[in-house]
Amino acid sequence: KAGVTQTPRYLIKTRGQQVTLSCSPISGHRSVSWYQQTPGQGLQFLFEYFSETQRNKGNFPGRFSGRQFSNSRSEMNVSTLELGDSALYLCASSLGTRTDTQYFGPGTRLTVL
Amino acid sequence: EDQVTQSPEALRLQEGESSSLNCSYTVSGLRGLFWYRQDPGKGPEFLFTLYSAGEEKEKERLKATLTKKESFLHITAPKPEDSATYLCAVQAPGGGNKLTFGTGTQLKVEL
């Protein structure tokens, strides 16, 4: 079974631009969660989508948004990029039931100049 | 607010030298505690899920245990390929699939 895939793997943007990252979950998984990983803060939860609805949201500004499509693929968007948005963005998929395991993709490395 | 603290931050072992990593947590009603392994430049790889105090799970040289306040990841006779960052995360009720992570233990196993 194919794992979680994320595109692109690497991205370089400048301040003020916006960016869209994509995540394709494991086949049959309906929940997609997004996390930001930085050396200073570690892994922090951004939001979770289940059946095209946002089910939970972390403490990030409104510049961070996401959506999920009917095939469970998900995108996250960051508008008006800031230097501090440079990070590894990880997507994780799961069946969406209680306490099921989340499987992570390889991440998208975003660098903001 | 859910909190996860991992110790030590970094650990250097000789091949074959067994040790334990600690994960202390504060959460209102634990739904699950997860251990992941992360290699540089890659996404976290799932290792174990523990649900209740007293539970233990094993996989090759790794054994995870859970109490009401902490979890331990025991590494028996480690090999250089066990070198990685080990992450602990908790899941609480009402948070959907949200995981709260600790900052990890960076393990280096030397020959």
Break chain B down into helix, strand, coil percent, rounded to 5: 5, 55, 40
Residue B15 near residue B62 (C-beta atoms within 8 A): no
How far is A103 from chain B, CA to nearest CA, in Å?
7
On chain B, the residues whose CB falls within 8 A of the CB of A43 are 44, 87, 89, 99, 101
Torsion of CA A56, A57, A62, A67, to 10 degrees: -50
How far is B6 from chain A, CA to nearest CA, in Å?
12
- Work out whether strand B62-66 and strand B10-14 pair parallel, antiparallel, or are unpaired: unpaired
Selected residues 7-36 of chain B with any CB under 8 Å from a CB in chain A: 31-32, 34, 36
- Out of B91, B95, B101, name the one closest to residue A43 (CB): B101
pLDDT, tens only, A30-61: 999 999 999 989 999 999 999 999 999 999 99
Q: What is the pLDDT of residue A2?
A: 82
Kindly state the tokens that stand for B103: 């900052």
Low-confidence ranges of chain A (pLDDT < 50): none
pLDDT, tens only, B74-99: 999 999 999 999 999 999 887 778 99
SS3 B88: strand
Q: Do B31 and A98 touch (CB under 8 A)?
A: yes
Q: Do B101 and A42 touch (CB under 8 A)?
A: yes
**Is A30 an 8 Å CB contact of chain B?**
no
Average pLDDT, chain A: 95
